[in-house]
Structure 1
Amino acid sequence: MTKIAIVTGSTRPGRINRGVAEWVLAQAQLRSDAEFELVDIADFNLPLLDEAYPAAYQNYTNDHTKVWSEKIAEFDGYVFITGEYNHTVIPALTNALSYLNAEFNNKAAGIVSYGSAMGVRAAEHLRGVLSELQIAHVQKTGMFSLFTDFENFSTFAPTELSAATVAPVLDQLVPWAKALEAVREGALVAA
């Protein structure tokens, strides 16, 4: 069965990111075309990137990197949950992505963003990072507004209109994740 991780994008105390990720996971688990699991980057205690070698070498020296690598390698695809911070991706997510490379190659991803402008700038910046990691990102994006989809800017309570943006992401992501399994198998045979 195709496995997809719903990856949180924040580690801050009092973060709203985890609530969005849990909601997306609940929506995804209503489907039967893939297995979905929440992966909370806060659980991995990743400091500011502290590996001596570029991630592409996979010459990891720190235990936290090795554990993060093993977890991410389990999946065929990802849904990255990002808020917009200073008109870009939340720094904790960028840091977590920077630790790895090959574990992400030839896999698929969707993006769910939120912010005062629905996180669209963060989503667009994240697409550049994902491209560099050879992650095929789908066109549809789940988008939520801090003004209408959060009670008191803290409790996630999406409007029906915003909630409807997530199903198209999953509708595109699952077939892409399945298709890229064959690409990864072909790359192994060629090696």
Structure 2
Amino acid sequence: MTTKPRIALIIGSTRPTRFADVPAQWMLKQTQARNDMEVEVVDLRDHPMPFFDEAASNLWAPSENPEAVRWQQTIGKFDGFIFVVAEYNHSITGVLKNALDQAYKEWNRKPFTAIGYGGTGGARAVEHLRGIGVELQMVSTKSAVHIGGGDFMAIHPYFGKQSIESIEANLLPSATAALDELVWWAKATIAARATV
């Protein structure tokens, strides 16, 4: 019997007024409609790590900060990741970059996808995330979900104030493709890691 991949849906913003909960909950709903993965929300608000201040990456030396160790233990149990990506100044949030830096071995040889949002659908931030992922020996899906332009303005609480379901038809094709690819890569990397 094949086990379902365990996937973390990581909310990559911690601002009190963040928009991230809207796409996170929508993406969670899409994963729950499937029967090929188990998904758990991992909120960076629940992991108050300092800025990376270890002697080295945990690839080279064990981390000393208890919050960093707890973070590594949390993400280490997953087979893949869905990142909820806000775009700040053409890149990912500082808190997400710090969370990525606080671990190394736990990310290795695992796949990820993303749901990005912002004026350009978080496209530049997702591209930065992919570059970081390569350095962490991760596998990025080709597909990702991008909420941008008129769709972003329509559902933003300061502007259009519509529900995300009002633009759902625009998001479903890319969400389906991204999740299909994530499951494929998760199963492939689980099998490959088992042989090492």
Asked whether the two chains share a fold, i.e. TM above 0.5, the reply is yes
Q: Which residue of 1 aligns with 2:58?
A: 55
Please report the TM-score for the alignment, with normalisation by the length of structure 2.
Answer: 0.90
Where 2:195 maps in the other structure, the secondary structure is helix
Q: 1:166 to 1:58 in 2, by over 3 A?
A: farther
Residue 166 (structure 1) shift? 1.3
Greater strand content: 1
Where 2:13 maps in the other structure, the secondary structure is coil
Deviations 1:154-177 (A, max 9, x none): 968330343212121101101110
- Contact 1:55–1:98 (Cα < 8 Å) also in 2: no
How many residues are matched? 187
Gaps of 5+ in 2: none
Residue 26 (structure 1) shift? 1.5
Please report the TM-score for the alignment, with normalisation by the length of structure 1.
Answer: 0.92
Counterpart of 1:3 in structure 2: which amino acid? R
Residue 50 (structure 1) shift? 2.2
Q: Which residue of 1 aligns with 2:156?
A: 150
Is 1:35 aligned with 2:43? no
Residue 185 (structure 1) shift? 1.3
Deviations 1:13-41 (A, max 9, x none): 11111222122111111110010110111
The alignment yields a C-alpha RMSD, in angstroms, of 1.6
Q: Which residue of 2 aligns with 1:113?
A: 116
Moved more, 19-28 or 81-90: 19-28
Deviations 1:116-175 (A, max 9, x none): 111110011110000111110100010102323424259683303432121211011011
Q: Which residue of 1 aligns with 2:190?
A: 181
- Contact 1:151–1:157 (Cα < 8 Å) also in 2: no
Gaps of 5+ in 1: none
Q: Which residue of 2 aligns with 1:11?
A: 14
Q: 1:131 to 1:139 in 2, by over 3 A?
A: same
